[in-house]
Every structure is written in C-alpha cells, then in structure tokens.
Amino acid sequence: MESTWKPYWRRVGPPTRVVLLRRPDAWRYAVYFEGPNGVADGYLDGLAPGGEPEEAKAALCHSAARIAHRDLEIAWQPPAEPDAWIGLVTSAGPLPESDR
C-alpha cells in the first residue's frame, strides 16, 4: 500500500506574507502560507540583533524560499512600528519537479 503522507511544503500553498521582527536578542521571523496551519517561524541565525534591516530582509527572503521550496519575490511595506517589517509575497515560483 502506498503512503499518502506528504511533506509540509506539499500540503500548504505558497507563502503569502512574511514578518520580520528585531528583538533585543535576535531577529525573529514568521512566514505565512495559504492553506490550513500555514505558518513557520523562528530566528535568523548568524545576524546580530543590532544589524541592518536590509541584511535581515535578504536573509529572511533566502530562508523563506528554502522553507517554501520555491523562488520568492517579496515587496516590503513601510514599517508600521519600530523594528517590525511586513513583506508581501508578490511572486512564488512553482515547486521543483522533484518536490511534487
């Protein structure tokens, strides 16, 4: 009997938005996906909390693409509050053939 189990990136849709937060101890992030239970969050490794937001945004774009198994383009909105940024995913490429 063939298994019906699927990895998470095949159960949720593409990412819709990302959130980046600077905290005193680290950069935190969340990636929101279409579909049920579609959120991944964590810390950005290797970045100093006092670092530049542009560097953290680039690191988050890379991490989100790795998590989603897709190429992503993200449009960042102006910050609504200090040390918090929201990005809208404007383009999410297809899953690689090996991930389908």
pLDDT digits (tens, 9 = 90+) for 71-85: 999 999 999 899 999
What is the residue range of 86's domain?
Answer: 32-99
- Residue in the structure block whose two tokens are 């953290």: 56
**Per the structure, how many domains does the chain have?**
1
How far apart (Å, rounded) are the C-alpha atoms in residues 29 and 22? 9
In 23-69, beta strands by DSSP E: 27-33, 39-43
E strands in 1-100: 15-22, 27-33, 39-43, 72-76, 84-92
Q: Is residue 69 part of a domain?
A: yes
| Average per-residue pLDDT for the chain | 88
Quick check: helix, strand or coil at residue 97? Answer: helix
Predicted confidence at residue 12, as pLDDT, reads 74
Element (H, E) at 61: helix 53-68
49 in any annotated domain: yes
Residue 8 lies in a domain: no
User: Does residue 41 belong to any structural domain of this protein?
Assistant: yes
Q: Is the pLDDT of residue 7 over 70?
A: no
The verdict on residue 25 lying in a domain is: no
Contact (CB, 8 A) for 79 and 72: no
Average pLDDT over residues 48-66: 95
24 belongs to a structural domain: no
In-domain check, residue 20? no
Q: Is 36 domain-assigned? A: yes
